[in-house]
Amino acid sequence: MTGYIIRRILWMIPLLWAIATVTFFLMHAVPGGPFASEKPVPETVQRAINARYHLDQSIFEQYGLYFWDLAHLDLGLSFRGDQDVLTILKDGFVVSAQLGVMSFLVAAGLGMGLGILSALNRNRPMDYAGVFIATIGAALPSFVLATFLTIIFAVHLGWFDVLGWEFGNYRKMVLPIVSLSVLPMAYIARVTRASMLEALSQDYVRTARAKGLRDQVIVVRHTLRNALIPILTVLGPIFAVLITGSFIVEHLFAIPGIGRQFVTSVQARDYGVIMGTTLFYATVVITANLLVDIAYAVVDPRIRYR
């Protein structure tokens, strides 16, 4: 197991390198440069600006330069205000992670609770109600939901703020968390319900039931543990997605998170920030997947990694 984990961690290096390389060439292949759609400027001026940012060098020279700096843990500068990319990432991630973790807790807690309730009350009104709630909540695109929530609860009722995020200030926390967690909550509820039903139908659960064990005990001791595998498969990526920031929610609440930085940087061709956010995002996702795989082994001792 330890060997497996070490090998997986070592794997991350070539994987990140591959992602960074593909991203590097891809982003330079996309038409338009960081200063292309600014005010039309004479070509001579464009050349001077390119020289300032080393954009006049060949793509391979730029590639070499970037990876040389990267090897020295220097992520470079943003075209926006020459800010340090590492600082942009750090500041953005702190905000996105706060919002993401809160939303994850809400989504996982409510989603699994709803899923278990539905499964235990299969084909009864409780089940349909659970499915219905989960589905309706997720049936509106998040930007529509966030917009309606804002209009009702912030503009008209004045309970919450329209703008920003501040940890500990409920006026700025509730709407973004609700908007962000509804869709994953519904998904988690669905998967939980499905895999609980699957686990409940296993022979040993029937046996345990036949032996007269109380329902709760069966659920906790036997079923949930087995039902966890498919749930973990979705929880890992959902966690990774949530803490790396949602463009939509950060855009609609003007939250300075990393999701917004990424989209803005792609749109602005801010190469340094694109590379930085991509590497960061990739690291988080790969780590989350690794953690899921390890968690598999923990909840299901029959899975062996060599």
Considering only residues 131 through 190, tell me which ones interact with other proteins, judged by CB under 8 A: 131-132, 135-136, 138-144, 147-148, 150-151, 154-155, 158, 161-164, 183, 187, 190
Nearer to other proteins, 68 or 204 (CB): 204
Q: Name the H helices within the chain.
A: 2-29, 43-52, 59-71, 85-120, 125-138, 142-149, 170-200, 203-210, 215-217, 224-243, 247-252, 258-268, 271-299
Taking the complex as a whole, the smallest distance from the CB of residue 211 to other proteins amounts, in Å, to 19
Please, what is the minimum distance in Å from the beta carbon of residue 90 to other proteins? 10
Q: Is 291 in the site for other proteins (CB under 8 A)?
A: no
Interface with other proteins (CB under 8 A), residue from 57, 62, 121, 202: 202
Does 260 engage in binding with other proteins (CB under 8 A)? yes
Q: Which two tokens stand for residue 174?
A: 């509730």
How many Å apart are CA 37 and CA 269, to the nearest integer? 10
Tokens 């809400």 found at: 106
Min separation Cβ 37 and other proteins, Å: 3
Q: Which residues contact 46 (CB under 8 A, 6 or more apart)?
A: 35
d(CA 176, CA 36): 34
- For the CB of residue 73, give the shortest distance to other proteins in the complex, in Å: 20
CB of 60 to other proteins, least distance (A): 19
Give the integer Cα–Cα distance in Å for 275 and 286: 16
Number of residues that bind other proteins (CB under 8 A): 110
Rule CB under 8 A: is residue 254 a binding residue for other proteins? Answer: yes
**Secondary structure of residue 39 in the 3-state scheme:** coil
Q: Is 70 in the site for other proteins (CB under 8 A)?
A: no
Contact 272, 75 (CB under 8 A): yes
Pick from 95, 245, 241: nearest CA to 165: 95
**Which residues from 96-135 bind other proteins, rule CB under 8 A?**
128, 131-132, 135
What is the token pair recorded at 236? Answer: 């890992």
**Least spacing, CB of residue 220 vs other proteins, in Å:** 20
Instruction: Write out the binding residues for other proteins, residues 9-28 only, by CB under 8 A.
Output: 11, 15, 18-19, 22-23, 26-27
191 binds other proteins (CB under 8 A): yes
Q: Contact 269/32 with Cβ under 8 angstroms?
A: yes
Which 264-283 residues touch other proteins, going by CB under 8 A? 264, 266-269, 274, 277-278, 281-283
30-59: contacts with other proteins (CB under 8 A): 30-45, 47-49, 51-52
By CB under 8 A, tell whether 222 contacts other proteins. no
Compute CA distances 94 → 62, 75, 217, 261, 275, whole Å.
30, 18, 40, 13, 19
Could you say whether residue 93 binds other proteins (CB under 8 A)?
Answer: no
